[in-house]
């Protein structure tokens, strides 16, 4: 009887060890129920995660000394890069690049009406226009992909636009404008008038993201993420945590939010960073540390929660 007991015990131990090994092995794709691709930057490395496979790979790299900024079109088919050549302090070089092969499709030099060459741009939804945000010397500038200026807004109500004011594209080439740290305004082509969307009575808020259909906005208010209708109604808190959140990117279908969480703010040292997690975009509030609906962005080939420190996109 005794040998039989030992054999059974050994079999059970081997079976349990085998199960434990299977459970601990990396490779389960927690992102597989989602669609599209997540692109993010950390330091000067830009990575792409294919959600269907859960695998992360290099997207592109750039020279941190000459590159000013970059953007990715809403369809993911164009990359806009701005750079300043060594010794050049007036002109900014803009390039439209194919993400598939790195081929430059268009390029032009832009000289601002005043100020230096530190300009970066944002592509419109239809890829026909480029928006430059205000700085200390210039207001909002909209130009075509040949570099021809189509519209320029220097101020509102006799107050100049400046660094900190921002504009965001909407579908149909309309724009939202965050002005004077207090107002969200809207202007539709040909940009001859402004309408008030919402007056924001909060000390800390911003980093607006627009859903692909243009019906919803995400933004941070205080330490957490809120959703709001495009007309300024139904502002609701959708995240909570013991830390801070700094951004929330809509999925292409608008059903989820890619949230920057555990945010560390250190811009002067260039060391700001945040982890990436996903929540439903259904208007409910989710705790980023313990809600069961939270999906951590963990690629199957790294097994580590993704940390970003620059542009973050979710594209088809």
Domains of the chain: 30-315 (2.120.10.30)
pLDDT digits (tens, 9 = 90+) for 158-204: 999 999 999 999 999 999 999 999 999 999 999 999 999 999 999 99
Angle formed at CA 235 by CA 208 and CA 230, multiple of 5 degrees: 55
Helices (H) and strands (E) in the chain, counts: 1, 29
Predicted pLDDT of residue 56: 98
Distance, CA of 78 to CA of 84 (rounded, Å) = 20
Global pTM value? 0.89
Per-residue pLDDT at 18 exceeds 70: no
pLDDT digits (tens, 9 = 90+) for 84-139: 988 888 899 999 999 999 999 999 999 998 887 789 999 999 999 999 999 999 99
Q: Is the peptide bond before 190 cis (omega within 30 degrees of 0)?
A: yes
Per-residue pLDDT at 15 exceeds 50: no
Burial of 68 (0-12, 13-18, 19+ CB in 10 A): middle
Distance, CA of 16 to CA of 19 (rounded, Å) = 5
- Beta-carbon neighbour count of residue 161 at 10 Å? 21
Mean pLDDT lowest among 35-44, 59-68, 179-188: 59-68
- From 89, 96, 146, select the one nearest 118 (Cα to Cα): 89
Q: What is the H or E stretch that residue 12 is in?
A: helix 2-24
pLDDT digits (tens, 9 = 90+) for 200-222: 999 999 999 999 999 999 999 99
Per-residue pLDDT at 4 exceeds 80: no
**Cα→Cα distances 27→208, 301, 303, Å:** 34, 7, 7
Predicted pLDDT of residue 300: 97
Predicted pLDDT of residue 64: 84
Tokens of 274: 């945040």
Residue with tokens 């900014």: 92
Contacts of 290 by beta carbon, 8 Å cutoff, 6+ apart: none
- From 127, 69, 77, select the one nearest 103 (Cα to Cα): 77
């Amino acid at each position: 009887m005794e040998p039989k007991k030992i054999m059974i015990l050994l079999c059970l131990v081997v079976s349990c060890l085998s199960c434990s090994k299977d459970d601990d092995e990396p490779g389960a794709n927690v992102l597989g129920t989602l669609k599209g691709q997540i692109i993010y930057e950390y330091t000067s490395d830009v990575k792409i995660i294919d959600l269907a496979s859960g695998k992360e790979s290099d997207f592109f790299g750039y020279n941190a000394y000459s590159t000013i900024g970059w953007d990715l079109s809403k369809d993911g088919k164009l990359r806009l890069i701005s750079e300043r050549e060594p010794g050049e302090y007036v002109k900014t070089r803009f390039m439209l690049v194919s993400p598939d092969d790195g081929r430059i499709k268009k390029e032009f030099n832009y000289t601002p009406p005043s100020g230096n060459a530190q300009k970066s741009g944002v592509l419109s939804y239809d890829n026909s226009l480029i928006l430059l945000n205000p700085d200390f010397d210039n207001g909002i500038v909209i130009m075509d992909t040949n570099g021809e200026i189509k519209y320029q807004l220097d101020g509102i109500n006799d107050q100049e636009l400046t660094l900190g004011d921002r504009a965001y594209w909407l579908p149909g080439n309309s724009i939202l404008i965050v002005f004077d740290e207090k107002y969200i305004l809207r202007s539709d082509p040909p940009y001859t008038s402004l309408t008030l969307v919402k007056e924001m009575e909060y000390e800390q808020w911003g980093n607006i993201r627009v859903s692909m259909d243009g019906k919803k906005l995400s933004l941070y208010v205080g330490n957490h993420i809120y959703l709001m209708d495009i007309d300024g109604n139904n502002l609701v808190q959708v995240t909570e945590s013991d830390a801070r959140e700094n951004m929330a990117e809509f999925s292409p279908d608008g059903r989820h939010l890619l949230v920057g969480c555990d945010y560390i703010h250190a811009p002067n040292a260039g060391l700001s960073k945040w982890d990436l997690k996903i929540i439903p975009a259904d208007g409910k509030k989710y705790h980023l540390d313990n809600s069961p609906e939270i999906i951590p962005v963990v690629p199957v080939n790294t097994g580590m929660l993704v940390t970003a420190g620059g542009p973050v996109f979710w594209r088809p």
